[in-house]
Amino acid sequence: MFDSLCDTSPRLDLGALAEALLFYQRVHLVLGPRRLRELVRALGAERLVALLDSGSLQIGYTPAQLAASLTGEVRDVIRFEAPVHDLKTLLPRVVFDSMGTRGASATRCINKLFRAIRPLEVPASLTEAARQDLTNGPLVRRALVEMAGVGAPSVDFAKFRGIGEFEKFDVGHLIASFGAARMQAHAAATFGGEIATDPTTSIVLRATVSDLTRRRSASASGIADFEELVLDQAGAIRDAINSGRRSFDEFEGLLERAARFRGWLKNQPHDKKLVKAYFDEVTRDSWVASEPGKAARWFFLNAIGMTASLLTGSDVSGTILAGALSMADTFWLENFAKGWRPDQFVNGALKGFAEAD
């Protein structure tokens, strides 16, 4: 718990980064081209290097992204990347622009950043897995029910077979969420750590994990279940920084205080009282107390009853279970067998999914 967090969000959220750094031993940002520019601009190249040197922040980079494509009647998940987004080409330009110089100090920052940033390979199997998820009627239905509520308008869930028959929903948002879920889980399993996500993608992630374990387990006790933990005040830091009421400089004072306690927190069980005790101690007599309360949310996988049958696809009697594994699913489960869990740190409020009449 609270050891490592992997964040692949497409846009930079500086307040969410601060919040994550407060709770986690290590935060691994997986950046695309736009978010790399935003991060260097927001923190400055030299401060970014200092955070990397401290070990509390790590960076991965991929020019590849999964996105929704809506062309006429075609609804699809696509992968895109551009040669100009190659890190060797992009990083010097970003640092020079941020520092306003091409001198020796900028060159040193570029070299340090380039050595620190780890590439993330995005296999073609992720795109195909997201497409398969979107044609899995029960999986999509489960996600939609939680997003919009049972009995959402214009959807006959009894006949639902993928994304084909709903008129009142934002199809692009749904497709993008399934692509993001696959991307986020792949990055977190690759680098190790919990998943930083938004509420909509969290719903898709939990539904996807539950569907995978349902197909791979002969026992109902082997189906994934997630435990929610909500801390009422923790989100105040994110809101204060994003609104401009507080700066990242002011947050770094809290980060120094938190360094004494984070090692203790990562060895504790998923207990709200313990998390609250940590947060109260770290923020005691600080500016956080004067900020309006905002909730922070986590979902932790309850792995009781899950066995190696998830990977082998057979129960204790040797019966082969339904549901062939895709390459992406196999990668998830191989890392699951090594101890990785798709736990989630959820930022923000659930956006409206149903379109207005």
Question: How does pLDDT run across 185-206, given as a tens digit for each residue?
Answer: 999 989 988 999 888 888 888 8
pLDDT for the residue 341 = 80
- Flag whether pLDDT at 353 surpasses 60: no
pLDDT score of 276? 87
Residue 5 banded pLDDT, cuts 50, 70, 90: very high
Residue 141 located in a structural domain: yes
Q: pLDDT at residue 323 above 70?
A: no
In a domain, 351, yes or no: no
Within-domain flag for 242: yes
Q: What is the mean pLDDT of the chain?
A: 79
Q: How many other CB atoms are there within 10 angstroms of residue 296's CB atom?
A: 24
Tell me whether residue 66 is in a domain.
Answer: yes
Q: 319 pLDDT exceeds 50?
A: no
pLDDT confidence of residue 198: 85
Q: Which residues of 230-262 are buried (b: 16+ CB within 10 A; e: fewer)?
A: ebebbbbbbbbbeeeebebebbeebbeebeeeb
| In-domain check, residue 102 | yes
Q: List the single range of 65-79, 324-338, 342-356 with lowest mean pLDDT.
A: 342-356
% pLDDT > 90, the chain: 21
Per-residue model confidence (pLDDT) at position 29: 93
Arithmetic mean of pLDDT, 45-51: 93
Domain span at 69: 4-346
Is 50 exceeded by the pLDDT of residue 160? no
Q: Which of 139, 143, 135 is nearest to 213 (CA)?
A: 139
Quick: pLDDT tens for 94-149.
Answer: 999 999 989 999 999 999 999 999 998 888 889 998 888 888 888 888 888 777 65
Mean pLDDT calculated for residue range 337-347: 81
Residues 250-271 pLDDT 10s: 998 888 888 888 878 877 777 8
Asked if the structure places residue 356 within a domain, the reply is no
Label residue 68 by pLDDT band (50, 70, 90): confident
Query: Which residue type is seen at 160?
Result: F
Q: Quick one: pLDDT at residue 3?
A: 87
Position 355 in a domain? no
Provide the number of structural domains found in the chain. 1
Task: Report pLDDT for 312.
Answer: 43
Give the Cβ contact number of residue 199 at 10 Å: 17
pLDDT higher at 156 or 112:
112
Does residue 215 have a pLDDT over 70?
Answer: no
Higher-scoring residue by pLDDT: 162, 241 = 241
What backbone torsions phi and psi does residue 229 show, to the nearest 5 degrees?
-125, 125
pTM: 0.81
- Report the candidate in 177, 180, 184 with the shortest Cα–Cα distance to residue 146: 177
314 in a domain, yes or no? yes
